[in-house]
Amino acid sequence: MAESQMPSGAHALVFGASGLAGWGVVDQLLDNYPLQGTFSKVTALINRPFSVTESYWPSPSPSRPKLKLVSGVNLAVAEQTVEEFTALFKEKVEDIATVTHAFYFGTFEGEVGCSLHG
């Protein structure tokens, strides 16, 4: 995509952000990938407890996207309906309606489907 066509102020939602691939994507986004200003916010979804202080991600700065870490998001809860998942995301990610990009790096078996904007 040409530089002039790059979006700005985008909001990334990263599933599996504590894992190998998800961690790296969050790290790159906080380091202003692909261009400074493309992303203004990164929401990192975490299953097990995980703290920003032990994440080794770049420190907060006005020149980086804002990071929000949301933990306790278990996507493998048996018999959870799409409606229940949607309600969980709306509760956990208060500004979910502003999400422009979703990156998925979970590893568990199962089907996940929900409407992020519904």
Ligand X SMILES: NC(=O)c1ccc[n+]([C@@H]2O[C@H](COP(=O)([O-])OP(=O)(O)OC[C@H]3O[C@@H](n4cnc5c(N)ncnc54)[C@H](OP(=O)(O)O)[C@@H]3O)[C@@H](O)[C@H]2O)c1
For ligand X, the binding residues (CB under 6 A) are: 16, 18-22, 46-48, 73-76, 105-108
- Residue 7 or residue 108: which is nearer to ligand X going by CB? 108
Nearest distance from residue 51's CB to ligand X, in Å? 12
Q: Which is nearer to ligand X, 36 or 74 (CB)?
A: 74
Give whole-number Cα distances, 88 to 15, 50, 77, 92, 104, in Å. Answer: 14, 19, 12, 6, 17
Greatest CA separation for the chain:
45
Give the residue with the Cβ less far from ligand X, 65 or 106. 106
In a 3-state reduction of DSSP, which class is residue 5?
A: helix
